Amino acid sequence: MPLTIFDLDETLIAADSDHEWGQFVIDKGLVDAQKHKKKNDDFYEQYKAGQLDIDEYLQFSCSILTQYSIEDLHRFRSEFVAQRILPIILDKAQDLVKKHRELGDTLLVITSTIEFVTRPIVDEFGIDILIAPDPEIVSNRYTGRIVGVPSFAAGKVTRLEQWLANRQDSLEGSSFYSDSHNDLPLLRLVDNPVAVDPDPILREKAEENQWPIISLRD
């Protein structure tokens, strides 16, 4: 079965889930609003510019997880998904996932946003396989650290290859859908790269390489 890979943020949903989570915890009063908003916005702009320090970003992203119990965090997350994520799931994205499922493809989401935030979102698409930065848990508390290689930029290739090493799947006939130029390493690896509502840099590269360009928002 061919492997069909999806980016999540700005591809299957009409926003960046990590930035939305950051704004949610600000609005809910779970963090210092002024400090958190500045960092949340700064990291998002760095990401879009291709200048993100992934280790600094993940340290920031995981910081709130250390401040509350897992039970409280899951409750906050359920509110977040209901209030901020369900309204921005793209209908055409759901149709695209459904099409590949009906073709019998193996479906996978790979994202640089932490697993804590993205797991329930990916569940909404009925996709079981998620590769994302994994926050470490010790004694039923988040430590603020990430386990393994972050799935960002070339790290997405590393994590995918690690996953493939333990399976019978291969990249023969594989597809990858993404909006971001940060995903160029993985887009160049698969057989069928697809630019989805691409940022300007990715659009230019897609046109140069004659990759398909589609919109899930029109």
d(CA 124, CA 37): 27
Please work out, in degrees rounded to the nearest 5, the angle formed at the alpha carbon of residue 77 by the alpha carbons of 75 and 80: 115
How do strand 175-178 and strand 192-196 relate by DSSP bridges?
parallel
- Is residue 9 part of the annotated active site? The answer reads yes
Tokens of 123: 């569940």
Out of 9, 134, 179, 197, the active site residue is: 9
- Is residue 7 part of the annotated active site? The answer reads yes
Please work out, in degrees rounded to the nearest 5, the angle formed at the alpha carbon of residue 36 by the alpha carbons of 133 and 69: 60
E-only strand ranges, the chain: 3-6, 106-110, 129-131, 134-138, 141-147, 175-178, 192-196, 213-214
Tokens of 143: 């430590």
**Close Cβ partners of 130 (under 8 Å, ≥ 6 residues apart):** 108, 109, 110, 111, 115, 118, 119, 122
Which of 133, 175, 132 shows the shortest CA–CA distance to 2? 175
Which of 165, 162, 160 shows the shortest CA–CA distance to 175? 160
Give the residue numbers annotated as catalytic, written as ranges: 7, 9
